[in-house]
A and B are shown apart, each in its own frame.
Chain A
């Protein structure tokens, strides 16, 4: 049952990305181009998502187990540090140069776009590089 819910969450998320136009990098770049012909759509996507999400997270916050009996795994970290800011700046640069973030990259891959496959493969490589660097940092001297 948990797996069915997980699949449906991914599916509905993907449908939302398609309906909102965010699976299309041109729409995303149109939002990021404040100085050009600006397309505010992405702000409306975030607004719609957060309006619904706030209600769900307000309910979720008070629960110890999920409706399907799984433990609630909400992030405990509250650190605002160099990793958080630096990582997100790097992500933002990558996002700005091609208009893809992880979700839309995967959805466009599902559309059979070869260019999305290249992006997703490089993204996985990037995540792998992080994994290697992390293990080196954490390895005992």
Chain B
């Protein structure tokens, strides 16, 4: 394990992380809900009365964040190396997996660990481990 000091950004990572914590914290304190993005989005596929608007506005907030950020500072461009086929496969796996596993990085990783949920700890360990192994296989075994 060699830390790449050229790409490591501890301060912006901590600051951005704290903002994410503020978002999750205000959501549970004000709305009484878990800021779990896969669950909020997935719930829209089976809409129930009175259960749609809050999901739509939360997702709208996420989608509009780049616009608001751009009003304050230059928006960093993401670098997406994966090709279209890989993105489709990744999206399918993330979609099916997060619904079977009842959460993702936000619901289990941020909210679940913040409320000391053993279930979320297992979930986070599982997706982290799978992520580490997948990148190892792709970059170092297949050298793709």
Interface residues of A, Cβ cutoff 8 Å to B: 2-3, 5-27, 29-30, 32-42, 44-57, 59-61, 63, 65-68, 70-75, 77-80, 83-103, 105-113, 115-116, 118-131, 134
Contacts and interface: CB of A to CB of B under 8 A. Distances in A.
Contacts of A87: 96-102, 123
A3 B31 CA distance: 9
Given A9-B58, A96-B130, A102-B104, 5 more contacts: A9-B27, A14-B61, A27-B9, A92-B130, A126-B92
Interface string B95-125: 1111111111110111101111111001110
Contact of B109 (A2, A46, A128): A46
A107 B54 CA distance: 18
Interface in B17-66: 17-35, 37-38, 41-42, 45-46, 53-54, 57-66
15 contacts: A9-B58, A10-B65, A20-B17, A22-B16, A41-B7, A46-B17, A48-B14, A53-B114, A63-B32, A90-B97, A98-B86, A101-B94, A106-B37, A122-B89, A130-B100
A3 B24 contact: no
Interface residues of B, number: 111
The B interface is mostly helix, strand or loop, or mixed, namely helix
Nearest to A45: B17
Contact of A75 (B30, B34, B133, B140): B34
Nearest to B121: A80
B98 A91 contact: yes
B14 A44 contact: yes
A96 B138 contact: yes
Given A38-B4, A39-B7, A97 B86 contact: yes
A19 B130 contact: no
Listed residue (B8, B65, B82) with the most chain A CB atoms within 10 angstroms of its CB? B65
A11 B92 contact: no
A45 B8 CA distance: 12
A109 B67 CA distance: 11
A73 to B, nearest CB: 5
Given A91-B127, A97-B82, A106-B62, A66 B30 contact: yes
